[in-house]
């Protein structure tokens, strides 16, 4: 594999190439098909997530084990297209390449053999970069290391290449602010001692009632018995979320968010077992994870965990229900996150805790199922933590076990 520096070029001997960029932050890839004057022929020559195919070019979103990539079949690129330019842009429009570290562009053939690498140096305030281009020269194809950034972001880049888009609606005008009125002087009153701070009120514990699900607030607890004091035996914890639609100048798309539900079993403060996507059943079989959902797509529960309360070992005092973000997305990129409790025997929903508003965390402790004497209880937690896997979450669980 050869390494390119900015401005250098090299011949391409492969007829199909794959273009990627390693970026130490969430980022997208796209491609521009341009003529000799550096402009697109039509808006269809901008290939990106909402328009993933063009003549001879395909933009492929990340899948398990594979990053964003742009695949180019050089023989299928129209004759009036002079170059295919590879563009990388940061998901966070407020971030810059100077602040996240050096991106590296790669070219490989269709067999996956690396051909060229281009570490992009000198980037500072740019949020979007033309990384490299494959172009025609004297009847053959070559690759050039470009590394040209745009501090003005996507708007600057597309204007430079002749792409037209709908204008975004202007932001609403700020409401007029009234001029402050000077206060009327008054004689100072004698200072009173400050009141003692009130202790935060503990949410009242509620009871489960047949055919009337409980809507839990943060910290609230329920006793896991049904009408008539009959103890629940098999409960299903459903966890769900929806990805936030990402809006851009070229439309919107749903960002796939891979959240993972897990159940961590603890004896006192000591973790003893876990059920999650890589271990769907605890050793004793009392807790089962029903399978992984990698996108949050669809209505209802995205992942579920079954807990047979009659089989949980006597030394286990708590089962913590945790959601973690495998790809490192935060809950600011998630909406409608919820945790619900279902009587698995009847299918009736008993309680639901809905998370209001996103948090800048990659994990969430959703709920705690715990013993109190001979009874089991559920507590809605809803606390953000930094966790991309269940093991990352374990150190943060201890303070919620009291």
pLDDT in tens, 336-352: 778 888 888 888 888 88
Instruction: Write the DSSP string, 8-70.
Output: -EEE---SEEEEEEE-SS-EEEEEEEE-TTS-BSSGGGEEBTTB-EETTEEEE--BTTB--EE
Handedness of CA 159, 162, 165, 169 (dihedral sign): positive
Cβ-contact 243, 296 below 8 angstroms:
yes
Residue range 156-195, pLDDT digits in tens: 676 678 775 444 334 444 444 445 555 555 555 555 555 5
The CATH number assigned to the domain with range 2-161 reads 2.60.60.30
- C-alpha to C-alpha distances, 277 to 11, 47, 269, 292, nearest whole angstrom: 45, 34, 23, 5
Confidence of residue 256 (pLDDT cuts 50, 70, 90): low
Same topology between domain 2-161 and domain 220-400: yes
Domain residues of the chain, as ranges? 2-161, 220-400
Residue range 102-113, pLDDT digits in tens: 899 999 998 889
Can you give the pTM of this predicted structure?
A: 0.49
What is the rounded distance in angstroms from the CA atom of residue 82 to the CA atom of residue 105?
Answer: 20
pLDDT at 303: 87
Q: Give helix then strand counts, H and E, for the chain.
A: 3, 28
Confidence of residue 199 (pLDDT cuts 50, 70, 90): very low
- Chain-wide mean pLDDT for the chain? 80
Confidence of residue 26 (pLDDT cuts 50, 70, 90): confident
CATH class label, 220-400 = mainly beta
pLDDT at 172: 43
Confidence of residue 155 (pLDDT cuts 50, 70, 90): low
When pLDDT is averaged across residues 69-93 and rounded to a whole number, the result is 91
Cβ-contact 396, 365 below 8 angstroms:
yes
Residue range 272-304, pLDDT digits in tens: 999 998 899 999 999 999 875 543 344 568 889
């Amino acid at each position: 594999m050869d390494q390119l520096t900015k401005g250098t070029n090299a011949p391409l001997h492969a007829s199909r190439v794959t273009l990627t960029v390693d970026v130490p932050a969430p980022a997208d890839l796209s491609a521009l098909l341009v003529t000799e004057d550096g402009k697109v022929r039509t808006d269809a020559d901008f290939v990106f997530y909402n328009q993933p195919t063009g003549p001879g070019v395909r933009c492929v979103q990340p899948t398990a084990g594979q990053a964003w990539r742009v695949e180019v079949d050089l023989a299928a690129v129209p004759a009036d297209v002079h170059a295919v330019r590879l563009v990388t842009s940061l998901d966070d429009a407020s971030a810059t390449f100077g602040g996240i570290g050096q991106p590296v562009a790669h070219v490989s053939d269709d067999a996956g053999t690396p051909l060229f690498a281009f570490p992009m140096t000198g980037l500072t305030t740019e949020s979007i970069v033309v990384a490299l281009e494959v172009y025609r020269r004297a009847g053959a194809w070559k690759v050039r290391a470009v590394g040209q950034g745009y501090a003005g972001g996507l708007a600057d880049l597309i204007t430079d290449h002749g792409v037209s888009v709908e204008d975004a609606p202007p932001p609403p005008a700020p409401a007029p602010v009234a001029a402050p009125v000077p206060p009327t002087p008054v004689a100072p009153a004698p200072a009173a001692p400050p009141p003692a701070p009130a202790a935060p009120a503990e949410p009242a514990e509620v009871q489960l009632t047949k055919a009337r699900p409980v809507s839990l607030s943060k910290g609230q607890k329920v006793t896991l018995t049904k009408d008539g004091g009959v103890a629940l035996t098999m409960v299903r914890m459903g966890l769900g979320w929806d990805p936030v639609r990402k809006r851009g100048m070229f439309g919107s798309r749903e960002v796939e968010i891979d959240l993972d539900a897990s159940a961590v079993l603890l004896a006192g403060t000591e973790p003893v077992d876990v059920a999650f996507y890589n271990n769907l059943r605890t050793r004793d079989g009392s807790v089962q994870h029903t399978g992984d959902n990698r996108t949050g797509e669809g209505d209802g529960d995205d992942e579920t965990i079954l807990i047979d309360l009659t089989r949980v070992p006597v030394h286990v005092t708590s089962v913590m229900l945790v959601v973690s973000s495998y790809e490192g997305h935060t809950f600011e990129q998630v909406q409608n996150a919820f945790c619900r409790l279902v009587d698995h025997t009847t299918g009736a929903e008993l309680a639901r805790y809905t998370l209001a508003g996103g948090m800048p965390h990659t994990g969430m402790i959703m709920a705690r199922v715990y013993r109190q004497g001979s009874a089991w209880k559920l507590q809605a937690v809803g606390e953000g933590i930094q966790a991309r896997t269940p093991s990352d979450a374990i150190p943060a669980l201890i303070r919620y076990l009291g």
